[in-house]
Structure 1
């Protein structure tokens, strides 16, 4: 289990600058590869250091635990995620959102990585917190397209933008984690359309 630093900061969640950026990138890439191959339970910091060609001491001092390493990996993924679309149409923006989620979950590496992190979050509080922060960041970024739609009059004022974005991705994650039903563009487009119809009907107001 991960431990917090002396000032209450989870190891690995403070973004480095300058010359340490290259080391961070190499370690996070190695950590992602190890998660895909072996899962969280077998994520070993010494092995990650070897893969990244970085000293073990550096990895243990900076990230401390597997949970700290995964926390920083998710932070990095949030930082590198594509920006939201801005097409001027809520339906098209949400379709773009759904297809972005689809591409992520069906990508051989990214899909396996998310599945591993989701599984780890069920038994590790620090990993769960990091995953929640990751999704809060992404939902917050995409909420802007819903807020813009409300200003244009496409949907009622007072629509909860975050709930609309959650409604788009929820059916796709259900297929990904629970049901095993096909994940394809048809499923993504249906999720987006359903969210738009519900938003226009005032489902997410208040």
Structure 2
């Protein structure tokens, strides 16, 4: 019984690997491209490229300066995130970072994995940008974990200049300072509709 239980735990841990802006949960099959629940366990692939290249260990918050994925974010974005996280904490909500800054090498690895997972470059582009176009590589994007945090940001993020950019990625936020006064701009359906991704 112990061996069977250990095998099941091992399988469930390995089945929960994910990548890039892919839904933070276990990988969907190629025939099912709908995003899984946001509260599912999130694990980025560690592979040959680890934390120094942007992989994020479990439990990282926007206050973890020792983690390059957080420390290498744009300073204005990080400041806005930390202010929002402090305000959210008053409501009992904690911001976990599923992904932040990434090296170009790590972004390329995530893109290769997405092509393998989704079966084509076209479908992978709905979830993962190239290293040349990804706002994660420039430190201008963060993926926030847990549905209570994304729900909080959906309601209060604009007041901090933090906006959800893609309708299919409720965890992906970028800094839009004008949102404080004007509200967030309309979302793109997915990254393939974002002119920045067309370079």
Aligning the two structures, in what range does the TM-score lie when normalised by the shorter sequence?
under 0.3
With CA pairs under 8 Å and 6+ residues apart, which has the higher RCO, 1 or 2? 1
The structure with the largest alpha-carbon Rg is 1
Give the number of the structure whose residues are more often strand, by fraction. 2
Give the structure with the higher percent helix. Answer: 1
Provide TM-score, normalisation by structure 1: 0.26
